[in-house]
């Protein structure tokens, strides 16, 4: 990546002392190689190049409150010191921000230092990786993340596009990585996640609150599938389209999970053109008893739901389709070309007559 008119960080620092207001007006391209320089200078930069940054243990790479329109460019390998804390390792906020990287770069969490066969609720305290909270009217493009200690992207923004992100946690499969959700979505409005490539050990996507969300052209390997939820605590998830994606060798395929005894709403969700293979537990599952198996309740309506062209295989010990609704809380579903086979039939309950519980 070529940046013209690069101002070195040293001369930028000198200028900062002289005329901060003038600096804010001028175009500044900043190249950082040293973590400590970023915080005091970032707000003046239109381009923030982060070259082989090492983030000290227990600290976030804090890219919050950036100048409107700033471009953040990761270059080389970004690494993090080891501490047992909640993180996040990276946080970004601002308006009209673009976050991208030069080819071949990687954010390497070196998660093996934390993995211990426990998730967020036991063992070592593990840092979440990347938080996009109030990263509005912005884009995250082509970022490559390796070996997240626990949850990878937390998205909580308006009008955000996340495009071509790669999350490779494959080293964690046999080293005890847990709860390595790829994309956790909360309080997001107008979010698009497209062309994601994920190999992880928990949800590829989990939307527990938000409106107008699109996930398309995703590849999900090894995790827990593409999920709405878990929904509870009065939350609403509405107007979601999950399309043209593959889910391979994962625990679940497509899933809507709501909590027993809770209120909330799941409305206008479409899953279309999803290919499954090697699903070990549930090919397609809607469960209203997520936190209390066997006790589905009807305080959360799951309605205006479309499953269209969901096809592929689950393995013998799993179930093809599992629908566990509360009384009258699942309705107005469209069910077209759902063809999942290879596993057992489940004893479904309270599902709409338009749906089907058996393999096809």
Ligand X SMILES: *[C@@H]1O[C@H](CO)[C@@H](O)[C@H](O)[C@H]1NC(C)=O
- Residues annotated as catalytic are 202, 224
Structure tokens, 37: 């320089």
Which parts of 158-187 interact with ligand X (CB under 6 A)?
A: 158-159
Q: Do 79 and 50 form a contact (C-beta atoms < 8 A)?
A: no
Q: Is 64 in the site for ligand X (CB under 6 A)?
A: no
Closest CA to 325 of 345, 299, 304, 343: 299
The count of other CB atoms within 10 Å of the CB of residue 360 is: 11
Query: Which tokens sit at 168?
Result: 């490779």
Is there binding between residue 338 and ligand X (CB under 6 A)?
Answer: no
298 near ligand X (CB under 6 A): no
Are 214 and 188 in contact, with CB atoms under 8 Å apart? no
- The DSSP H or E segment spanning 22 is helix 20-25
How large is the C-alpha radius of gyration of the chain?
A: 22
* DSSP secondary structure string for all residues of 22-43: HHHHS--EEEE--HHHHHHHGG
Cβ atoms of 17 and 42 closer than 8 Å: no
Say if CB 345 and CB 319 are below 8 A apart: yes
Contact 216, 194 (CB under 8 A): yes
Is residue 335 part of the contact set for ligand X (CB under 6 A)?
Answer: no
CA end-to-end distance (rounded Å), the chain: 51
Among 141, 171, 241, 308, binds ligand X (CB under 6 A): 241
Residue 120 or residue 164: which is nearer to ligand X going by CB?
Answer: 164
Tokens of 225: 């599938």
Minimal distance in Å, beta carbon 210 to ligand X? 10
| Shortest Cβ 243–ligand X spacing (Å) | 7
Which residue's CB is nearer to ligand X, number 212 or number 291? Answer: 212
Options 79, 192, 236, 246; binder of ligand X; rule CB under 6 A: 246
Nearer of residues 273 and 356 to ligand X, judged by Cβ: 273
Cβ(128)–Cβ(155) under 8 Å? no
Binding of ligand X by 273 (CB under 6 A): yes
Q: Two tokens at 190?
A: 């107008």
Q: Is 266 within 8 Å of 257 (Cβ atoms)?
A: no
If phi > 0 it is left, if psi is from -120 to 50 it is alpha, else beta; for residue 106 that is: beta
Binding-site string for ligand X from residue 312 to residue 331, where x marks contact by CB under 6 A and - marks none = -------------------x
Least Å distance between CB 336 and ligand X?
13
Residue 48 or 165 having the CB closest to ligand X: 165
Closer residue to ligand X in complex, CB, 85/331: 331
Count of residues that interact with ligand X, criterion CB under 6 A? 17
Q: Does 302 bind ligand X (CB under 6 A)?
A: no
Q: Hey, how many other C-beta atoms are within 10 angstroms of the C-beta on 145? A: 25
Would you count residue 245 as binding ligand X (CB under 6 A)? yes
Q: Is 190 in the site for ligand X (CB under 6 A)?
A: yes
* Single residue of 244, 306, 315, 350 touching ligand X by CB under 6 A: 244
The DSSP call for residue 171 is G
Measure Cα distances from 290 to 182, 187, 228 in Å. Answer: 20, 21, 12
Taking the complex as a whole, the smallest distance from the CB of residue 308 to ligand X amounts, in Å, to 10
Based on CB atoms, which residue is closest to ligand X, 47 or 206? 206
> Would you give the binding string for ligand X spanning residues 201-240, x where CB under 6 A is met?
-----------x--------------------------xx
Nearer to ligand X by Cβ, of 163 and 244: the residue is 244
Name which position in 35, 85, 189, 335 contacts ligand X (CB under 6 A): 189
Question: DSSP class of residue 349?
Answer: B
Residues that bind ligand X (CB under 6 A): 158-159, 189-190, 212, 239-241, 244-246, 268, 273, 275, 303, 331-332
């Amino acid at each position: 990546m070529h940046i013209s008119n690069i101002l070195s960080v040293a001369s930028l620092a000198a200028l900062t002392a002289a005329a901060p207001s003038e600096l804010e007006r001028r175009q500044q391209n900043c190249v950082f190689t040293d973590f400590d320089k970023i915080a005091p200078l970032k707000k003046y930069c239109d381009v923030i190049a982060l070259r082989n940054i090492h983030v000290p243990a227990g600290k976030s790479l804090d890219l919050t409150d950036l100048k409107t329109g700033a471009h953040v460019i990761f270059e080389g390998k970004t690494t993090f010191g080891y501490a047992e804390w909640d993180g996040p390792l990276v946080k970004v906020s601002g308006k009209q921000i673009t976050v991208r990287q030069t080819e071949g770069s990687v954010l390497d969490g070196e998660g093996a230092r934390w993995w211990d066969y426990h998730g967020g609720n036991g063992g070592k305290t593990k840092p979440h990786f990347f938080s996009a909270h109030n990263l509005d009217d912005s884009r995250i493009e082509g970022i490559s993340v390796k070996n997240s200690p626990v949850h990878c992207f937390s998205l909580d923004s308006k009008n955000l596009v996340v495009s071509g992100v790669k999350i490779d946690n494959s080293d964690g499969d046999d080293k005890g990585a847990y709860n390595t959700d790829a994309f956790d979505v909360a309080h997001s409005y107008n979010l698009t996640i497209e062309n994601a490539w994920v190999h992880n050990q928990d949800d590829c996507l989990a939307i527990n609150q938000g409106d107008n969300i699109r996930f398309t052209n995703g590849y999900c390997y090894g995790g827990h599938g593409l999920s709405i939820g878990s929904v509870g605590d009065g939350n609403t998830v509405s107007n979601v389209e999950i399309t043209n994606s593959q889910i391979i060798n994962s625990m679940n395929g497509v899933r809507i999970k709501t909590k027993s005894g809770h209120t909330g709403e799941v409305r206008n969700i479409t899953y279309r053109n999803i290919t499954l293979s090697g699903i070990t537990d549930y090919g397609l599952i809607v469960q209203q008893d997520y936190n209390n198996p066997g006790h589905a309740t009807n305080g959360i309506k799951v309605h205006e739901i479309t499953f269209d062209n969901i096809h592929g295989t689950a393995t013998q010990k799993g179930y093809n389709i599992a629908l566990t609704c509360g009384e009258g809380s699942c309705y107005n579903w469209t069910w077209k070309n759902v063809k999942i086979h290879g596993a057992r039939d489940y004893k479904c309950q309270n599902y709409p007559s338009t749906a089907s519980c058996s393999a096809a």
